[in-house]
Amino acid sequence: MKQILILCFFFLLSQNSSFAQNVVFSAQASATTIGIEDRVQVDFTLENIEGIQGIQNPNFPGFKVLGGPYESRSSNLYLNGNQPVRSTSLTLSYVLQATQIGDITIPPLSAKDGNGKVYQSNALKIKVVKGSLAQQRRQQQQSADPFAGFDPFDDPFFGGNGGGGDPFAAMRQQMQQLQQQMQQQMQQSMGPAQNLPQVTEKELGKNVFIKVSVDKTKVHIGEQITATYKMYARVNMQAQLSKLPSLNGFWTQDFELPKDQKPQYETLDGVQYQSFTLKKSALFPQQTGTLILDAAEANGVAQIADRSNPYGKNVQFKLKSAPVNITVTPLPIKDQPTDFSGAVGSNFMVKTKIDKTSLSTDDAATLTIDISGVGNIKLIGAPKLNLPNGLDAFDPVITDTITGRSTTISGHKIFSFAISPSIAGDYEIPAIPFSYYDPAKGSYTTLYTTALKLHVTQGTKVKKEIAGNKLLSDLNNIDTKPLLLQPSNGTLLYSKAYWSIYALTFIALLLFAWRKKQKESEANNQGLFKNKYANKIALKRLKTAKTFLDKKETIPFYEEISKAIWLYLSDKLNIPLSQLSKETALESLRSKQITEAQLSKMYLIIEDCAMALYAPSGAAQQMNSTYNDTVQLIGELEENLKK
């Protein structure tokens, strides 16, 4: 189908041919007897109706439409005697399913052509029976063929139609019908053969063939070759191109063929043929080595003489052109200009244009380089601009136009560069060289454009390339200081030493606090101990004092009394004896809220002791009262200091 479509486009050139053609408008069904569960395909084929204006929408009484219309067009060209004849065909396909049992008639369809003439198709009769015929057929097939049940193309559109398990049967059938029709038409139009060439089937190859001719087979890369695909024939035949050459490795530009192409008469090796140009192209090889112009292929039917049939007989044939080898050599490297960008051809011209010569840094100018000439226009690479610093060019926009395609390919290639200045100033864009290789001369030619001047003023907009307050115009230079071996300095946070400082400090602090606490509590304990036993020691001393009192020994008595008091105070107040004096003791006692009366009593006792020790007067009465007072005082103090 694709090939037919290609053909259709290919032969559109000759669409104005106005030869009389047989008009056909037919309706066909894929089966004439179907089951009610089966699907049937109905095709309406319109052939050779010029400029179809409208086709009536078909109605199918007794059927429901499952799919369609599917439209397919084809176009065909064949030689009828000496005339090329074009035929067109349009097929509308519907997939239907019956809704009732019995004989159903599909009414004829009408269509109107460009001249207002109305054509009508035939009516179709379809017999609908119970159940599914397709399934029955398939089951029969299945019993014979174990694989039939696994039909991979079991498609709803084709699964049920007359062809049984074969999904393409309908299509094939349709094609065959068309072919038969065409053959009939051919025979009718040709009438009895009068002068059929006396050729046999074996000699057909000499009488119909496709030939490729090229103007040269050895070229440089990029050099033009003109290739012509022609069909030669000495017999009545019709043919379709089934494969166009793909021409890999070439850039191809087709030449225009005359619209109304008449067959030419050409003599090859003394034999006259009709020739018909299928394709004429300019080829530009893009790679070196041996490139092959691959074959064009065609299928067709030829009419040759046959003794038993006055109309001759139709023989199918396949045509294939012989491939042609092209040797492509590289361009000479010697003297190749550095700016060469692949242009091969002749008569090249280069022009530059700039749309403005004065602009601001906010603006952009467009520099256009127009290369015109004859050759591989499409394959020319962009020329290099050597812009001064401060001007920037973006990738060019490239347009190429082919203006002439008679025997050579000529045209323009236009490169548009947008140039944006970044710094104000006066610039000169130097002349741009453009080189091409001229195969006729066998040498390179370099053309130069004229240099352009550009005046740039400072714009108002701040450019984004400003870093800090510095306008960046060019790179900062490289770092040439001696290379520091940077053992990628570690991350402190990830090092064990760092965290061990925290840990050690913390532990040290804890230890220190604990030690301090312990010391304190030790000292405290000692004080507490003394405090606790102060009373007992004092009482012990008082006991000894009592014995001295009984013996009336004055000095030892007072010694004991004063010792009892001082030691008691020292222990109770937690003041070492060396630091203890009347004043410190009084102060300390005051802070512990001892009443003044007690204090004065204590003061008196201490005075008495001192007096008695240093000036003994020795009254037993006084000793007695001192003793009593001391016992009372210690008792009272004990009471108060306990709190």
Partner 1 sequence: MKQLLLFLSFLLLSITSMAEQNKMPQLWKKANDYYLQKQYDSAISYYHSLLQQNPANPSLYYNLGNAYYRKNMVTEAVINYERALFFNPQYKEAQENNLLAKSRIPNAIKPIKDIFFVRWWQTLTSGHWANTWAVLGILLFLALASLIFYGILKNRLRQIAPQVFVLLPIIILIALFIAYKAAYNKNNCHLAVVNSKNAVLNNVKSTSVPEATTVLVTKREGNGFLVTLPDNRTGWMRQSDLTFVQISTKK
Does position 516 bind partner 1 by CB under 8 A?
yes
Residue from 1, 440, 467, 597 touching partner 1 (CB under 8 A): that is 467
Instruction: Rule CB under 8 A: choose which of 151, 339, 370, 392 binds partner 1.
Output: 392
Contact region with partner 1 (CB under 8 A), list: 107-115, 272-280, 392-400, 572-580: 392-400
Q: Which of 9, 147, 150, 494 binds partner 1 (CB under 8 A)?
A: 494
Q: Are 374 and 345 spatial neighbours (Cβ–Cβ below 8 Å)?
A: yes
Nearer to partner 1, 191 or 468 (CB): 468
Q: Is 473 within 8 Å of 422 (Cβ atoms)? A: yes
- Nearest approach, Cβ of residue 575 and partner 1 (Å): 18
Question: Taking CB under 8 A as the rule, does residue 117 contact partner 1?
Answer: no
Nearest to 186 by CA among 48, 47, 21, 3: 21
Taking CB under 8 A as the rule, does residue 387 contact partner 1? no
Q: Does 529 bind partner 1 (CB under 8 A)?
A: no
Q: DSSP alpha helices (H): ranges in 449-595? A: 496-551, 554-573, 582-591
- Tell me the sheet residues that pair with 426: 455
Binder among 451, 509, 555, 577 for partner 1 (CB under 8 A): 509
Q: In what order do the strands lie in the sheet with 324-329?
A: 218-220, 324-329, 289-293
Give the residue with the Cβ less far from partner 1, 448 or 512.
512
Q: How far is the CB of 481 from partner 1 (least distance, A)?
A: 7
SS (H, E, C) 210-246: EEEEECCCEEECCCCEEEEEEEEECCEEEEEEEECCC
Q: Of the ranges 78-86, 179-187, 305-313, 494-502, which one interacts with partner 1 (CB under 8 A)? A: 494-502
Rounded Cα distance, 220 and 287, in Å: 9
Q: Which of residues 406-465 bind partner 1 (CB under 8 A)?
A: 463-465
Which residue from 147, 150, 502, 614 is in contact with partner 1, where contact means CB under 8 A?
Answer: 502
Of the pair 247, 387, the CB lying nearest partner 1 is at 387
Closer CB to partner 1, 45 or 422, in the complex: 422
b/e for 622-641, b at 16 or more Cβ within 10 A? ebeebbebbbebbebbeeeb
Q: Residue 159 or 383: which CB sits closer to partner 1?
A: 383
The residue (of 51 and 490) whose beta carbon lies closer to partner 1 is 490
Site membership for partner 1, residue 482 (CB under 8 A): yes
CA distance 294 to 212: 10
Q: From the list 143, 480, 579, 617, which residue makes contact with partner 1 (rule: CB under 8 A)?
A: 480
User: Least distance from C-beta 457 to partner 1, angstroms?
Assistant: 20
CA distance 545 to 555: 10
Among residues 20, 144, 440, 492, which is the contact residue for partner 1, using CB under 8 A? 492
Q: Which long-range contacts (CB under 8 A, 24 or more apart) does 544-550 make?
A: 545/627, 545/630, 546/627, 549/620, 549/623, 549/624, 549/627
Q: Cβ of residue 463: shortest distance to partner 1, in angstroms?
A: 8
Return the SS3 of 389. coil
Rounded CA separation 236/306 (Å): 14
Does 271 help bind partner 1 (rule: CB under 8 A)? no
Q: Give the nearer residue to partner 1 in terms of CB position, either 308 or 488.
A: 488
**Helix 496-551, helix 620-642: angle, nearest 10:** 150
The count of chain residues that interact with partner 1, using the rule CB under 8 A, is 39
Of the candidates 417, 358, 362, the residue with the CA atom closest to the CA atom of residue 392: 417
Nearer of residues 16 and 469 to partner 1, judged by Cβ: 469
Task: Identify which of residues 100 and 473 has a Cβ nearer to partner 1 in the complex.
Answer: 473
Q: Which stretch binds partner 1 (CB under 8 A): 335-343, 407-415, 495-503, 567-575?
A: 495-503
Q: Does 308 bind partner 1 (CB under 8 A)?
A: no
Spatial distance between the Cα atoms of 538 and 531, rounded to a whole number of angstroms: 11
Q: Does 496 bind partner 1 (CB under 8 A)?
A: no
Rounded to whole angstroms, the Cα distance separating 261 from 201 reads 29
Please say whether the beta carbons of 348 and 383 come within 8 A.
Answer: no
Least CB distance from residue 578 to partner 1, whole Å? 23
Nearer to partner 1, 147 or 494 (CB): 494
Question: In a 3-state reduction of DSSP, which class is residue 109?
Answer: coil
Asked if residues 273 and 233 have their Cβ atoms less than 8 Å apart, the reply is yes
Binding residues for partner 1, per CB under 8 A? 392, 394-395, 463-465, 467-468, 470, 472, 474-486, 488-489, 491-494, 498, 501-502, 505-506, 508-509, 512-513, 516
